[in-house]
Amino acid sequence: MRLTSGFRDLMIASLLWGTIGIAVQLAYRDGGSSYGIVFYRSLFSAILSIFITGKSKLLTVKAVALGVIAGIFYEIYAFTIIYDGAPLSSFLLYTAPLFVSIFAFSLFGEKITVTKLLASLLVVGSLYLSYLGTPSILQVLWGVASGASYAALISVSKYLQTKQVTDWDLVGAQSLWSLIPVGLAVPFFREGLFSLGSIWGGAFLCIIGTILPYYFSIEVSG
Amino acid sequence: MDSTIATIISALEPVFTTLLAYPILGQYLTPPEILGAILILVSSIWLGIDRRT
């Protein structure tokens, strides 16, 4: 029995993403807010993306579209964490594999199999064990919107890879152009925006929660 | 790797978060959370097995 080569990279990416929840809780203690952390994450990532990606690769319609999808996902998830709470938002985010099955089939004909559907449902059921509550319809809708927007980001990234867009260009495009939707929401989420927690939380998420893990995960899904 | 399988394996993220929360934040895992973490780990490894060999 051997594990696929991509499994190790995805484990590393998941471990790095797993530190996000810890960092966010510590950032909250320093006055940070969900939206503030997302804002600085996008801002710092956008600055870095200019150095890691060629300017010509960033100034395309595909790059802008991917970045806007990423920004919409960051915002929906940040709001869902506030509205649903951490355990429920985390569990509903992982309705994403179900949406990825549908999007990937529609965009590039990836097969939908019984195994994948069963495993997707198993993940959702397993994460429900961390929540064990009864959410309202609106809470479910926001959570499912997080899962669907996350799935859209994954599926469109993979679709662009089939169009010869490189891994680092994908990371750069997401980082730079996600600033558009995230920046537009500033007037609505000012609380905690200028706190130390939001700034260091955003810097942590930029490096440990965005650039490094997305590189590992994008490389695997290619 | 298939994008759906990659997304399922990345569901290990909340598992790592709860494992890290114990030493860093002093937050304990409840029995249902332990069961959920084991189920996600098992399903990820199951999907991660290379069936070509």
pLDDT in tens, B6-21: 888 888 888 888 888 8
Chain A contact for B4, CB < 8 A?
Answer: yes
**B19 contact residues in A (CB cutoff 8 A):** 18
Closest-CA residue of B relative to A87 is: B14
A15 touches chain B (CB under 8 A): yes
pLDDT in tens, A66-121: 999 999 998 898 888 878 877 778 778 888 888 998 898 888 888 888 888 888 88
Whole-number Å distance between alpha carbons of A170 and A192: 30
Smallest Cα distance from B34 to chain A, Å: 9
CA distance readout (Å), A166 to A8, A55, A142, A152, A173: 21, 14, 32, 18, 11
Contacts with A, B 11-40, CB within 8 Å: 11-21, 24-25, 30, 32-33, 35-37, 39-40
Give me the residues of chain A with pLDDT under 70, please. 1-3, 5, 217-222
Helix axes A114-128, B31-48, angle to 10 degrees: 160
**Chain A residues whose beta carbon lies within 8 Å of the beta carbon of residue B46:** 119
SS3 sequence of B1-51 = CCHHHHHHHCCHHHHHHHHHHHHHHCCCCCHHHHHHHHHHHHHHHHHHECC
pTM over 0.80: yes
Q: What percent of chain A has pLDDT over 90?
A: 25
Q: Is the pLDDT of residue B28 over 60?
A: yes
**Cα Rg, chain B, nearest whole Å:** 13
Name the residue with higher pLDDT: B33 or A216: B33
Q: What residue in A sits closest to B32 (Cα-Cα)?
A: A129
